[in-house]
Structure 1
Amino acid sequence: MNKEYSRRDFLRRNSIAGLGIISAGTLGVSLITTDASANGIETTAEISKISGLNLKKLRQTYMEALLGKFIPNMDSYVVDHELGGFMCSIDILSRKLINTSKRAWFEGRGIWMYSFLYNNIEKKPRYLEIATKSKDFILKLLPKDGTYYISSFSKEGVPVGDVEGDIYGNLFVAEGLAEYSKAVGDKRYFDQAKDIILKAVERYDRPEFTYAYKAENRVAGPRILGHWMILLSLSTQMLRQYPDKEIRALADRCVDAIMNHHLNPEFKLLNEALAHDLSPLTDPVASQFGDIGHGCETLAFVMNYAVLIKDANLFKRASAEFKRHVDVAWDDIYGGHFHVLENVSTNTWTLNKLRWLQEEILIGALILIEHTGDEWALNCFARTEAYVREKYVRPEYAFIIDSGDRKMAKHTSVRAEHYHYPRQLMVSILAIDRILKRGEKPSGIFS
């Protein structure tokens, strides 16, 4: 069903798919004000309640989705309680495993998810047990020479083929270990995560190293937006635990690459790939390729980092670019956000819809809502949340739908996704708690 989310209709209806948001300014409670430090970040004096489903109700909905359905189904169908790890290839309707293979990507993400769940939502020993078994499973397979994990393993941990994977596997394992370190109170895992990251970056910095991705395989040793994205996310999380100089330097390096090099000055969107020296690619295809999904997620991470280091100028710039990417990616006809802009000059898009992008946009919008009460973010959150609930959440499925065609008439049904979805739920719950604790007012961090 098509929906037009005009501001007038949005405010009049006061509810979209069960979730309505009205900014305080429209109610006459307050006007938009400018921060006294003249940083130009607009802040509302108060964030209004979410009408119909208020903040407390939204929190309850998210908690029920997380602890009432997602976690029990992970326990029943995905977690390997005997050998440790996660078997994510599952028919989400029949609840039958398609295969029992495991990946470094999914092990690292699972370790992080269960550790974060334990650290922030519910301290159940069972969560630590699941994270620990996955940790034990995947660390036995960590390459000793700093190379990347291979692509896949059997249920027992036997390598499937001999194809080396990519940097993401190592980084996700590091992310899991850093969060696990906090859960068990053992800094050795934090230090091991740091070691894995720095070795991965050292390999990434080799100019002769090549990647087997679509736009990136046209040049040796390219710089990839998605890599800076995960490195920045990791660094920010780790810096919240310890003030590490090397990790801080890595985070600043990521921000510089993202904001000062990948951001194309001509079309003002983030290029996915650059040359090794961060110069623009001359290849006519790769230079026009934009992973808008990575762009939205990356800029949300930059905003999050700006909050951590209290950099108002960086927050302002990143939020402006985040809004542009989200608006460009929105499908005015069928709703939802597109993921890949194949060619900027010809405006050629890949028209499928990936759920994780919608969730990363929700997280980014909530960062703006929490710290500034931004009205654009309120509207963005409402329409994106409505789209996710309408298109991806089906009661008959054990897990949320992963992706589909433009209309979401046809969709995938063969994966249990255990990273973006629970992260959006948990991060949102924590943000809602902070907003409620402040009496539903912006943080004022930049005031």
Structure 2
Amino acid sequence: MAARPLPLLSEYLTKMQKELKRVMDFWLRHSHDEERGGFLVSLTRDGKVYDTVKYGWLQGRQVWMYCKLYNETEEYHTDQVLQAAIDGAKFLKEFFYRSEDNRCYFTVTREGLPIYLQRTMATEAFYVIAMAELSRATKQQHYMDEAEKVLSSMLHWARVDDSQLGRPYLAGSPPINSMVIPMLVFNVVHEVCGTDEKLAAKYREHTDWAAEQTLAHVQRGGTVVLENVSISGEELGGCKGRHINPGHAIEAGWFLLQHASLTNKQHLKRVAIETFMLRSFERGWDEKDGGIFYFLDVDGYSPTALEWNMKLWWPHCEALIAFLMAYQETGEAKLLEQFGRVFDYTFSHFVDEDHGEWFGYLNRDSTVSMDFKGGPYKGEEQTNVCLQVASMFQDVYITASRY
């Protein structure tokens, strides 16, 4: 095995551990709604609440994240963190979840009155992973039963019939294979199963299906990952068919790599790394100003989405996880180099050294576009990337120190 650059690995690990504490402190200090329950996530740069609407997927993420920290770290294995997760889950179940159809509202008022129900299953996904991780934190089976109940509906919507989500299929808009659907199945099933091999075997059919559906997005002789393809796995016409979401493709890559490692599929590992991660990153990286573009058109046309050339926090988070996971799997220096490229850009532009937490949205030239720390689509995801990357680096560093 080639020698690892130990001082560099140690520096990355130290920075990630420090950043985990800074980000977590921000959310513990500013987001808890002590009066009404749940979490207030619309926070200004310095943590002031600018809107009291509550978002289901962000409530679910925060419960899940607190439980992850409680379960996997010594520093946050505290009664405060666990109780915050339990209280958040109580609000989530009481006000976001609909027992009659296993749907979850996207938004509710501060008090819990429903505002909006999306025609996707993203909020349900975060509800499921919150309950599953809370079950492990509390050692209470009823939370896992809740998670599996809603997961069962999600799998039905993904694989059999999604009409319950309320999205009508019109003559000019036939069903498509959108990569987000198998990605949700991958992520949610993995989080529900955790390290439980019996559960993993129970859901293996579904993760195999998700892998097959995700691989259908590799088009043009294996040179590109497209966001949307036909149900039969063929390239679509028009803007929708040419659409590339580099962050999604990179994220799908580490989902596939995770699945390939669990099922010992060597060829799938290479496709995950070379096609989904490296080629998508090479296409998505802005050589002029740095950072990963939000959207691209495979034929080089200007994407129609006005925000196409912005730099968002989450694709960079996914790239950090993906390249470090791939490096951990293979030991290939080029993967650590790409990790370092993303790391340097991320810590130079998204991290707010003055107030803590991260900015979420940058202009193409990498200046801050919106300086709030939380909103309709951005919550405490950085906590997860800091935890996951720090955890992987500890494993990588221990292995590297042997050589």
Fold match, TM over 0.5?
Answer: yes
**What are the residue-to-residue correspondences of 1:194-273 with 2, within 5 Å?**
194-204=148-158, 205-206=160-161, 219-242=173-196, 243-244=198-199, 245-259=201-215, 261-266=216-221, 268-273=223-228
- How much does 1:201 deviate? 2.4
Root mean square deviation of aligned Cα: 2.5
- How much does 1:224 deviate? 1.8
Task: Tell me the amino acid that sits aligned with residue 332 of structure 1.
Answer: E
Question: Could you tell me which residue of structure 2 aligns to residue 424 of structure 1?
Answer: 385
Question: Could you tell me which residue of structure 2 aligns to residue 411 of structure 1?
Answer: 369
Structure 1's 249 and 440: CA in aligned 2 closer, same or farther, altered over 3 A? farther
Choose which of 267, 281, 284 in structure 2 pairs with 1:329. 284
Cα distance in 1 for residues equivalent to 2:174 and 2:125? 21
**What are the residue-to-residue correspondences of 1:335-354 with 2, within 5 Å?**
335-341=290-296, 343-349=297-303, 350-354=308-312
Is 1:119 the equivalent of 2:80?
Answer: no
Is 1:293 the equivalent of 2:247?
Answer: yes
1:110-165 deviation line (CA, Å, top 9, x unaligned): 111100011111311111111111111011231223353232111111112x5445
Is 1:371 the equivalent of 2:371?
Answer: no
Choose which of 101, 107, 113 in structure 1 pairs with 2:53. 101
Cα distance in 2 for residues equivalent to 1:139 and 1:438? 42
Cα distance in 2 for residues equivalent to 1:372 and 1:335? 26
**What are the residue-to-residue correspondences of 1:59-98 with 2, within 5 Å?**
59-67=13-21, 69-93=22-46, 95-98=47-50
Cα distance in 1 for residues equivalent to 2:347 and 2:171? 36
Structure 1's 323 and 412: CA in aligned 2 closer, same or farther, altered over 3 A? same
- State the secondary structure of the residue aligned to 1:379: helix
Cα distance in 2 for residues equivalent to 1:176 and 1:325? 30
Cα distance in 2 for residues equivalent to 1:230 and 1:217? 27
Task: Tell me the amino acid that sits aligned with residue 45 of structure 2.
Answer: I
Structure 1's 266 and 310: CA in aligned 2 closer, same or farther, altered over 3 A? closer
1:281-322 deviation line (CA, Å, top 9, x unaligned): 644221111222111111111112222233222112211111
- How much does 1:198 deviate? 1.9
Cα distance in 2 for residues equivalent to 1:289 and 1:217? 22
Q: TM-score, normalised by structure 2?
A: 0.89
1:388-421 deviation line (CA, Å, top 9, x unaligned): 1111112223420001111122421223344431
Task: Tell me the amino acid that sits aligned with residue 234 of structure 2.
Answer: P
- State the secondary structure of the residue aligned to 2:5: coil
- State the secondary structure of the residue aligned to 1:274: strand
- State the secondary structure of the residue aligned to 2:254: helix
Question: Could you tell me which residue of structure 1 aligns to residue 100 of structure 2?
Answer: 145
Question: Could you tell me which residue of structure 2 aligns to residue 381 of structure 1?
Answer: 339
Cα distance in 1 for residues equivalent to 2:166 and 2:171? 5
What is the number of residues matched between the two proteins? 388
Cα distance in 2 for residues equivalent to 1:150 and 1:431? 34
Cα distance in 1 for residues equivalent to 2:165 and 2:298? 24
Cα distance in 1 for residues equivalent to 2:27 and 2:381? 14
Cα distance in 1 for residues equivalent to 2:112 and 2:150? 20
- How much does 1:209 deviate? 6.8
Task: Tell me the amino acid that sits aligned with residue 71 of structure 1.
Answer: M
Question: Could you tell me which residue of structure 2 aligns to residue 134 of structure 1?
Answer: 88
**What are the residue-to-residue correspondences of 1:302-321 with 2, within 5 Å?**
302-321=256-275
Task: Tell me the amino acid that sits aligned with residue 141 of structure 2.
Answer: K
Choose which of 140, 151, 156 in structure 1 pairs with 2:111. 156
Cα distance in 2 for residues equivalent to 1:319 and 1:200? 28
Higher CA-based Rg: 1
Structure 1's 258 and 412: CA in aligned 2 closer, same or farther, altered over 3 A? same
- How much does 1:270 deviate? 2.2
- State the secondary structure of the residue aligned to 1:438: helix
Cα distance in 1 for residues equivalent to 2:301 and 2:52? 40
- State the secondary structure of the residue aligned to 2:287: coil
Task: Tell me the amino acid that sits aligned with residue 411 of structure 1.
Answer: S
Structure 1's 146 and 441: CA in aligned 2 closer, same or farther, altered over 3 A? farther
Cα distance in 2 for residues equivalent to 1:264 and 1:217? 26
1:246-304 deviation line (CA, Å, top 9, x unaligned): 42211111001011x122235732222234x3443644221111222111111111112
Task: Tell me the amino acid that sits aligned with residue 331 of structure 2.
Answer: G
Structure 1's 80 and 189: CA in aligned 2 closer, same or farther, altered over 3 A? same
Cα distance in 2 for residues equivalent to 1:211 and 1:414? 32
**What are the residue-to-residue correspondences of 1:35-50 with 2, within 5 Å?**
44-50=1-7
Cα distance in 2 for residues equivalent to 1:441 and 1:187? 40
Question: Could you tell me which residue of structure 2 aligns to residue 433 of structure 1?
Answer: 394
Question: Could you tell me which residue of structure 2 aligns to residue 58 of structure 1?
Answer: 12
1:374-400 deviation line (CA, Å, top 9, x unaligned): 111111111111001111112223420
Task: Tell me the amino acid that sits aligned with residue 326 of structure 1.
Answer: F
Structure 1's 279 and 306: CA in aligned 2 closer, same or farther, altered over 3 A? closer
Please list every run of 5 or more consecutive structure 1 residues that lacks an aligned counterpart in the other structure: 1-43, 443-447
Structure 1's 397 and 129: CA in aligned 2 closer, same or farther, altered over 3 A? same
- State the secondary structure of the residue aligned to 1:223: strand
Q: Is the 8 A contact 2:292 2:315 kept in 1?
A: yes
Task: Tell me the amino acid that sits aligned with residue 56 of structure 2.
Answer: A
- State the secondary structure of the residue aligned to 1:98: strand
Task: Tell me the amino acid that sits aligned with residue 85 of structure 2.
Answer: A
Q: Is the 8 A contact 1:148 1:166 kept in 2?
A: no
